[in-house]
Amino acid sequence: MSLFEFVTVMVSMILALCLGQLLRNASFLARTDRKIIFYLPYVLWSLALLLTVINHWWSLWDFRDVDWHYGSFLYILIAPILITFATGLFSPIQSDSGPIDLQAHYLRTRRMFSAVFAAYVSVMWLDGPLFTEQAVFGVVGMLHIPIISAALVPSVSASPRANSISASTVIATLLIIMVARYSAI
């Protein structure tokens, strides 16, 4: 096993826990008999989280030639820990009674979620320049700016429209990144 494989196993496990949480949330909402009060920003941000986790895992390949040491390993763990924490914040309480109010849950957790997600994107923005030849303000680097900007919207606005637009911006930007970077791989 190479050092790259050793490092990415831990990152992959954390990302798998995050993906598992997203799938557990979706399956809970799909199978519950309780009334669900849907909220578009919650649904869109859930999709944004799903795409984020997929993109994060796939981007690990960029680090296959890194000369790993313990400090770089610790740094590379920050982002998956942050995105998993953000996903946990976003998970609705799975109690046995009463309606599931996704709007109330979203409004209650939006500020903390926003801060953690923006911190995640900031860490991800810097990992390429720190460990590979990516430019901070290269094409991919610049695409982090609209994601961070959109990620901060929930911290300053409770508007459903603003929050839906911000999540849609993250989704669209992630899709652009995925197509631009990985369509040839």
Residue 184, pLDDT score: 63
Q: How many domains does the chain have?
A: 1
Residue 183, pLDDT score: 77
Q: Dihedral of CA 32/40/151/56: which sign?
A: positive
User: Is the distance from CB of 169 to CB of 148 less than 8 angstroms?
Assistant: no
Residue 113, pLDDT score: 97
Q: Could you list the mean pLDDT of each consecutive 10-residue stretch along the chain, which spans 185 residues?
A: 92 96 93 92 97 94 92 96 95 81 95 97 93 87 93 96 97 92 70
Whether the model pTM is above 0.75: yes
Residue 92, pLDDT score: 84
Q: Which domain holds residue 99?
A: 3-182
Q: Dihedral of CA 161/164/170/176: which sign?
A: negative
Radius of gyration of the chain measured on its C-alpha atoms: 17
DSSP secondary structure, 87-112, as one string: HHHHSPP--SSS-EEHHHHHHHHHHH
Rounded to the nearest 5 percent, the helix, strand and coil shares of the chain are 80, 0, 20
Residue 98, pLDDT score: 84
Close Cβ partners of 30 (under 8 Å, ≥ 6 residues apart): none
Number of Cβ within a 10 Å radius of residue 142? 12
